[in-house]
C-alpha cells in the first residue's frame, strides 16, 4: 500500500491540523477549485479530500510531517494557472494551499531584492513595487503566484530580455516531504556554497519540496517605453531579424513573433482596436535608462527590419498607441479561443522551444504536420482545423495552436506529439515554459531518455522516499518509490 487515504487516516490528519490551529476545508467546491481549472482539467477522482491552508513555514512543516507519517499524498496550490495537469490530485490525498501566505516579508530597496510568501501574485508584487521604481520581470498568466511560478519554472513575454524564474530567485525556504525545513541560501546575489538546491526545487512541480518563502531579485522598472511592429512576407524573415538583433548586442525588452493565421484570429476576434495585416508580424518592446539609449535601439531595429525585407515597420512611444499595438499581442490567447465555432470545440497547443535558427523549420514542419493530418484523413472534420503560431521568438519558444472539433481530440493530440518529436529532432525541448505535469511525461522521456528520467527519479526518492509529494507528475513513480 503506497498511500493510506482511508477516512480514519484523513480524519486523523484533520485532528492534527486542528491541534496546530491550521485552517482547512472539506467543502467539495473548494476542493474541486484546487484541482480542476480551465487549463488543468482533472476528473472527480483527482480532487483532494481536504484542502489545508498553512499560515507559516512551521505550519507547512507540521502538515508534511503528518502526511509523511500517515502516507497521505500531497498536491499544492497557489494561483492555479498552470497547464498540463500539475494540480490534479491523481491519488486523492490532500492539497496544501498557500492562498493565506501572500505577504511581502521584507523589501530591500538598495539590494534590489524582496522576501515573499508563495501565495503572492506577481501582478500584486509589481503593484507594490511600482512606487519604488522596482520591477519583478517574470510575467506568466496574470493570476499566477510566486509559489506556482517557482514550482513550474515559468517564464513569459519578458523572458527574452530577463530570463525565466530560474534567473530571479536568490534563495528559497522549502519544506521536504518529511517536514524538514531547508533554506537554500541567504540573500547574496552570488554564491558558490554547495549544491544548487534553489534551482533543483525550481521547476520540480511540487514533487520535491513545498516552497514557503522566496528571496527574489528585482530590477529597475523599464523606462522610456517604445513599442513597434514589423511585418514580413515570411516567418523566416522575422526570425532573421531577431538573430541579427541578438548579434548586434542590443537588448530589447520583448520580441514576439506571430504568423499570418494568428493575426487573422486577432482581427476576427474584434479584441484589438485596429486591423492588422494578416502576415508574419514581429511585436517589439524597447526600453532603457535614457531616451538616447532607446532611440539607438529603435534605429537599430528599424534598420535591421528594412534590411531583411520588412513590408512595414512602425514604432511609437505614445501611451494610447502602445496600448493598441501591445493589446493585439495580449489578446492572442482569447482570440484563439474565439476561433471555436462550437462551444465544444477544442483548443490545444504546443510549448516547444528550439535553438532560434531552427524556429522556421519548427513552424514550417508544424504547419506541414497539421495540414497532412487534415488532408489525408477522410473524417468529417477534415479541413476544419484552425492552426496558428505565436512565439517568444528570442527564446525559440513557440506555441502552435489547434482549434478543432471535439471529435478530433485524439488526432489533434497525435499531431502535437509529432510536433514535440520534431522539436526534439531540431535539438529543442518539448516544453519551453509550461512544464511537464501529467501531459508531457512521455514526451519528457523521449527528451532526456530513460537514464535521464531515472536520474530525476533517484533524486525524488532521496528527498521523498514515500513518494507523497505530487505523485505521478513529471515522471511516473515506480516500484522503487514504494518503500513502505
By C-beta, is 373 or 430 nearer to a second copy? 430
Coil, strand or helix: which one is 329? helix
* Binder among 142, 188, 309, 380 for a second copy (CB under 8 A): 188
Residue 296 in the binding site for a second copy (CB under 8 A): yes
Minimum distance of a second copy from residue 325's CB (angstroms):
23
Residues 117-176 touching a second copy, rule: CB under 8 A, are: 133, 152-155, 159, 163-164, 166-167, 176
What are φ and ψ of residue 54, in 5° steps?
-65, 155
Position 369 contacts a second copy (CB under 8 A) = no
Considering only residues 81 through 120, tell me which ones interact with a second copy, judged by CB under 8 A: 108-113
Stretch that binds a second copy, among 45-53, 69-77, 262-270, 431-439 (CB under 8 A): 431-439
For a second copy, the binding residue among 395, 408, 418, 472 (CB under 8 A) is 395
The span from the CA of 73 to the CA of 1, in Å, is 12
Among the listed residues 219, 227, 231, 184, the one whose alpha carbon sits nearest the alpha carbon of residue 204: 184
Which burial class, exposed, middle or buried, applies to 313 when counting CB atoms under 10 A from its CB (0-12, 13-18, 19+)?
A: buried
Give the binding range for a second copy (CB under 8 A) out of 42-50, 353-361, 367-375, 401-409: 353-361
CB of 389 to a second copy, least distance (A): 16
Q: What is the DSSP string of 244-280?
A: HHHHHT---SEEEEE-HHHHHHHHHHT-SSS---SS-
Rounded distance between C-alpha atoms, residue 459 and residue 450, angstroms: 14
Say if residue 149 is exposed, middle or buried (CB neighbours under 10 Å; 0-12, 13-18, 19+): buried
Task: Tell which phi-psi region holds residue 31, choosing left (phi > 0), alpha (psi between -120 and 50) or beta.
Answer: alpha
| Closest separation in Å from C-beta 275 to a second copy | 32
CB of 168 to a second copy, least distance (A): 12
Out of 48, 222, 238, 405, which residue is the one contacting a second copy (CB under 8 A)? 222
Torsions phi, psi of 103, nearest 5?
Answer: -90, 150
- Asked if 448 touches a second copy (CB under 8 A), the answer is yes
Task: CB nearer to a second copy: give 159 or 272.
Answer: 159
Size of residue set near a second copy by CB under 8 A: 101
Q: How do strand 226-231 and strand 210-217 relate by DSSP bridges?
A: unpaired
The gap between the terminal CA atoms of the chain, to the nearest Å, is: 8
Answer whether 153's CB lies under 8 Å from 440's CB: no
Least separation in angstroms between residue 213's CB and a second copy is: 13
Return the biggest CA–CA distance within the chain. Answer: 71
| Under 8 Å between Cβ of 145 and 216 | no
Q: Is 361 in the site for a second copy (CB under 8 A)?
A: no
Residue from 55, 187, 321, 340 that binds a second copy (CB under 8 A)? 187
Nearer to a second copy, 333 or 360 (CB): 360
Residues 229-258 that bind a second copy (CB under 8 A): 243, 246-250
Least distance (Å) from a second copy to the CB of residue 8?
Answer: 32
Cβ-based nearer residue to a second copy, 249 or 343: 249
Q: Give yes or no for residue 353 binding a second copy (CB under 8 A).
A: yes
**Calpha distance 387→367 (Å, rounded):** 8
In the complex, the smallest distance separating the C-beta of residue 131 from a second copy, rounded to whole angstroms, is: 13
Nearer to a second copy, 178 or 277 (CB): 178
Q: Between 50 and 215, name the residue whose CB sits nearer to a second copy.
A: 215
Instruction: By CB under 8 A, name the one of 45, 357, 379, 480 that touches a second copy.
Output: 357
Q: How far is the CB of 111 from a second copy (least distance, A)?
A: 4
d(CA 383, CA 337): 18
Site for a second copy in 410-429 (CB under 8 A): 424, 427-429
Q: Which of 14, 200, 346, 482 binds a second copy (CB under 8 A)?
A: 200
Taken as a whole, the chain contains a residue count of: 484
Q: CA 106, 107, 110 angle in degrees (round to 5)?
A: 135
CB of 26 or CB of 193, closer to a second copy: 193
Pick between residue 11 and residue 167 the one whose CB is nearest to a second copy: 167
In sequence order, the 6+-apart residues with CB closer than 8 A to the CB of 137 are: 158, 161, 162, 168, 219
403 forms bridges with which residues in the sheet? 347, 386
**31 binds a second copy per the rule CB under 8 A:** no
Distance CA 448, CA 37 (A): 29
**Which range binds a second copy by CB under 8 A, 15-23, 26-34, 376-384, 454-462?**
454-462
Shortest Cβ distance from residue 224 to a second copy (Å)? 9
Closest distance of CB 324 from a second copy, Å: 26
Q: Where on the phi/psi map is residue 417: left (φ > 0), alpha (ψ -120 to 50), or beta?
A: alpha
d(CA 28, CA 147): 24
Regarding 270 and contact with a second copy (CB under 8 A), the answer is: no
Strands 113-116 and 104-108: antiparallel
Amino acid at each position: 500500500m503506497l498511500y493510506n487515504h482511508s477516512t480514519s487516516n484523513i480524519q486523523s490528519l484533520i485532528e492534527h491540523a486542528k491541534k496546530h490551529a491550521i485552517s482547512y476545508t472539506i467543502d467539495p467546491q473548494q476542493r474541486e477549485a484546487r484541482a480542476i481549472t480551465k487549463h488543468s482539467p482533472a476528473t472527480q477522482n483527482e480532487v483532494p479530500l481536504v484542502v489545508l491552508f498553512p499560515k507559516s513555514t512551521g505550519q507547512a512543516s507540521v502538515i508534511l510531517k503528518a502526511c509523511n507519517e500517515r502516507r497521505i499524498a500531497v498536491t499544492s496550490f497557489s494561483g492555479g494557472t498552470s497547464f498540463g495537469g500539475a494540480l490534479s490530485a491523481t491519488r486523492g490525498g490532500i492539497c496544501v494551499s498557500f492562498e493565506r501566505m501572500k505577504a511581502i516579508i521584507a523589501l530591500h530597496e538598495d539590494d534590489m531584492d524582496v522576501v515573499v510568501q508563495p501565495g503572492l501574485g506577481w501582478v500584486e508584487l509589481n503593484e507594490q513595487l511600482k512606487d519604488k521604481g522596482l520591477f519583478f520581470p517574470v510575467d506568466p498568466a496574470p493570476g499566477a503566484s510566486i509559489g506556482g511560478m517557482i514550482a513550474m519554472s515559468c517564464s513569459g513575454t519578458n523572458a527574452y530580455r530577463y530570463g525565466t524564474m530560474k534567473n530571479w530567485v536568490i534563495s528559497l525556504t522549502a519544506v521536504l516531504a518529511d517536514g524538514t525545513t531547508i533554506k537554500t541560501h541567504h540573500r547574496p546575489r552570488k554564491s558558490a556554497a554547495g549544491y544548487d538546491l534553489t534551482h533543483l526545487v525550481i521547476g520540480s512541480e511540487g514533487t520535491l519540496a513545498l516552497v514557503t518563502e522566496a528571496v527574489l531579485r528585482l530590477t529597475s522598472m523599464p523606462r522610456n517605453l517604445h513599442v513597434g511592429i514589423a511585418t514580413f512576407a515570411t516567418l523566416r524573415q522575422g526570425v532573421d531579424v531577431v538573430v541579427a538583433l541578438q548579434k548586434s548586442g542590443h537588448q530589447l525588452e520583448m520580441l514576439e513573433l506571430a504568423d499570418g493565421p494568428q493575426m487573422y484570429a486577432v482581427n476576427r476576434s474584434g479584441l484589438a482596436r485596429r486591423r492588422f495585416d494578416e502576415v508574419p508580424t514581429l511585436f517589439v518592446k524597447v526600453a532603457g535608462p535614457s531616451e538616447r539609449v532607446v532611440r539607438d535601439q529603435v534605429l537599430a531595429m528599424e534598420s535591421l527590419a528594412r534590411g531583411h525585407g520588412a513590408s512595414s515597420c512602425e514604432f511609437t512611444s505614445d501611451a494610447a498607441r502602445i496600448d493598441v499595438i501591445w493589446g493585439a499581442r495580449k489578446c492572442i490567447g482569447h482570440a484563439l479561443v474565439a476561433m471555436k465555432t462550437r462551444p465544444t470545440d477544442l483548443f490545444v497547443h504546443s510549448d516547444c522551444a528550439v535553438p532560434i535558427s531552427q524556429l522556421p523549420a519548427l513552424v514550417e514542419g508544424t504547419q506541414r504536420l497539421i495540414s497532412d493530418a487534415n488532408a489525408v484523413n477522410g473524417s468529417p472534420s477534415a479541413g476544419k482545423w484552425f492552426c496558428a503560431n505565436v512565439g517568444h521568438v528570442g527564446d525559440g519558444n513557440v506555441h502552435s495552436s489547434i482549434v478543432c472539433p471535439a471529435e478530433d481530440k485524439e488526432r489533434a493530440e497525435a499531431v502535437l506529439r509529432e510536433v514535440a518529436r520534431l522539436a526534439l529532432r531540431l535539438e529543442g525541448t518539448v516544453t519551453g515554459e509550461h512544464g511537464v505535469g501529467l501531459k508531457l511525461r512521455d514526451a519528457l522521456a523521449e527528451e532526456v531518455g530513460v537514464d535521464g528520467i531515472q536520474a530525476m527519479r533517484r533524486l525524488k526518492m532521496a528527498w521523498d522516499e514515500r513518494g507523497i509529494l505530487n505523485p505521478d507528475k513529471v515522471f511516473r513513480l515506480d516500484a522503487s518509490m514504494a518503500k513502505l
